[in-house]
Structure 1
Amino acid sequence: MNSPIVPLTFVFALLIILPLRSNATVLPIRMADKFILIEGTADDVTGYFVLDTGASGLILNARYFRSKSYSGLTAFGVNGEPAKVETLYVDFELREEKWKGQQAALIPLDYLEVAKDVEILGLVGGDLFWKYEMLIDFEKMEVHLQRAGKGGESLLESPDFDAVLPISLKAGMPCMEVWMGNKTYILGLDTASEDNMISRNRRDELEPWLSDRGTKFFRGISREISEVESGYLSSVRIGDIFCSPMSTLFTDLSGINWNFSGPNIDGILGFELLRQYRVAINFKSKVIALSPYRSSILMDLVSKDAGRRDSIMHRQSGAPVLSPAQHDRNR
């Protein structure tokens, strides 16, 4: 029997509802399967962008934007496959939050648009938020964004967060210690990864906690399709909170560790984590906080999505690695 082709990257309630903070920019969420879409504007073009903390900066869909001058920049996917891309500088906005003269990489994203049946102007990477706090709330279907230390209540100060952990950043992607099986690992949080990904070198030591083993296919920025081992991984703990079994792919992560600055990681968490926990991240002070959803409404949303997961090609993040000199000019 052929292995199913499923969606990839390159995770519910009576919840204490937080009061709306006057200092926070609130971005409504639209879901495209497991992608978080937020509305933004690059120069004068407005539309939906994928929130992608696994990307190191701003990526624009080459279908809608053209570079005024060629600049050789290399993008690397999770498997480390390189792709030459063009770049340009744009004024980028997420409602009240603005980035002037932000460098962006141009990459064709038409295959994502076809798979998700929605126009996607680009990907908004974690490196744009180095001065920000971010709250991802699937119960309210909102992303809250505010400047860290700007004043007012921090997005991480809610007493109902069950786990508060330090993080480090890998090209803008938050990374933290996570307990899997009987030891700790370093995992990144990629908000655009539809399944979790763990280094295939760790598969054997996690074997006792795997179920529903099989294989799946995914496509990277090179558009080549790869077949990888998969399964549902249990016994995952973040701080003092345990996660439900999560869909996990086992693949080669040496490319991302070699090409991206920051700590070497053992894996990547994505939608499989975000569907279980409300997550707040302070990129400036390098802290992450999580609290579990308890709403059956959110579980219904996940169940509807699960019914379609075998029919859509998974995507793999293809974030360009930007040198410090190539970051937005306003730092």
Structure 2
Amino acid sequence: MHQSIKIIIVLLFFAKSFATETKPIKDVPPFFFTKAEFVNASTTRIPFKVIDQLIVVEVEILDEVGDFIIDTGSEALILNSVHFKTTRNFIDESEQKSGINDNIEDVKEKHLNLLSINDISLEKLNADVIDLSHIEKTKKIKLLGIIGYSILKNFEVFIDMHLNQLTITRIDKKGNKLSDKVYAETIEDSIDFNLKKHTIILDAYVGDKKVVFGLDTGAEYNQLNKNLDSEILDYFYPSRELKLTGASGKKKKVLAGKLYRVKLTDSIYFGPMKTVITNLRKMNTAFGTNLDGVLGFEFFKQKRTIINYRKKKLYFIANPITEP
């Protein structure tokens, strides 16, 4: 299994097959983050937009400008087949891509020559080509693709919801930054995580009960497994129902509300977070995990977070002090 295609709340869809391709291309040329700001030879800052609780960056490719979603829950770099025509140069994949509710079929892989982030380049990339037209329509953006783990693992990634920007800096094989002059801010805390394939796994607590969460920038709301102990679910306060759509477009109603008393350690804790109750059984089966829930946008909204995949560590930057 190549990448995670997750349930994303309300109207974010992944379809099973390609839409009609409109732009014939024989190969995918380099693409560029249009608004990236150079910091040093190994570091750049990229401003992002928040669209329906998704992190979206602007990219230029084939003389067109469009959007990519930053999604730690996706293993691969994904291209939207609406904008990238499949040709003989594509390599057919025999395996299926699994989601929580469905298997995703008809995924093809394409080799990319270059990703350029100012002077920071990655060569010989692979990309999956999937129909993302439902996301494009419902989010009302020109969605060119999704940037996932296969790209992000090469950098230390600072996701700053306070400034709406990513700071990414190249790291060596041990996860050490190539430059010491990266962050003006002070790191106030850190925690280790486990990596299951490409999924960040965090040990956490709800109240005084230990739980295991996945961390995913592509989850618009947190997700909590409905089969959890009632003592954990007691900290979930429901407020309404939402329509949740799986990978093939199947819809079901879920209970939405807020989850209280979540903490990673005694010093790393969270205020109430928007959460839905759902069944994570198929996701756990697909990815060989045993998650009690998923932390998404709500996590990053409260914590200015640095991800270092090679060190398997999260770092947290202090929130700015605001005047009352």
TM-score range, shorter chain: 0.7 to 0.9
> What secondary structure sits across from 1:56 in the alignment?
coil
Instruction: Measure, in 1, the Cα distance between the counterparts of 2:111 and 2:95.
Output: 13
Does residue 1:182 correspond to 2:205, yes or no? no
Instruction: Measure, in 2, the Cα distance between the counterparts of 1:92 and 1:216.
Output: 40
Does residue 1:29 correspond to 2:48, yes or no? yes
Which residue is 1:38 aligned to?
57
2:221 to 184, 195, 199: 195
Instruction: Measure, in 2, the Cα distance between the counterparts of 1:8 and 1:234.
Output: 25
> What secondary structure sits across from 1:275 in the alignment?
helix
CA contact (8 A) 1:40 1:95 kept: no
Which residue is 1:258 aligned to?
285
Instruction: Measure, in 1, the Cα distance between the counterparts of 2:126 and 2:295.
Output: 27
Displacement of 1:41 in angstroms is: 5.2
Which residue is 2:106 aligned to?
84
Q: Which structure shows the bigger proportion of residues in helix conformation?
A: 1
Flag the 1:8–1:236 CA change in 2: closer, same or farther, 3 A: farther
Which residue is 1:228 aligned to?
254
Query: Letter of the aligned partner of 1:147 in structure 2?
Result: R
> What secondary structure sits across from 1:186 in the alignment?
strand
The alignment's TM-score, normalised by the length of structure 1, stands at: 0.76
Sequence identity, in percent?
A: 26
Does residue 1:60 correspond to 2:79, yes or no? yes
Does residue 1:268 correspond to 2:291, yes or no? no
Does residue 1:217 correspond to 2:236, yes or no? no
The alignment's TM-score, normalised by the length of structure 2, stands at: 0.78
CA contact (8 A) 1:57 1:127 kept: yes
Instruction: Please report the RMSD computed on the Cα atoms of aligned residues, expressed in angstroms.
Output: 2.8
- Give deviations 1:246-294, integer Å, cap 9, x for gaps: 1111222222222225x53221111111111100011111100124535
Flag the 1:152–1:100 CA change in 2: closer, same or farther, 3 A: closer
> What secondary structure sits across from 1:257 in the alignment?
helix
Instruction: Measure, in 2, the Cα distance between the counterparts of 1:271 and 1:296.
Output: 22
Which residue is 1:245 aligned to?
272
Which runs of 5 or more structure 2 residues have no equivalent in the other structure? 1-8, 15-38
Which residue is 2:35 aligned to?
none
Instruction: Measure, in 2, the Cα distance between the counterparts of 1:165 and 1:142.
Output: 22
1:135 to 136, 143, 158: 158
Query: Letter of the aligned partner of 2:249 in structure 1?
Result: R
Which runs of 5 or more structure 1 residues have no equivalent in the other structure? 11-19, 298-331
CA contact (8 A) 1:23 1:146 kept: yes
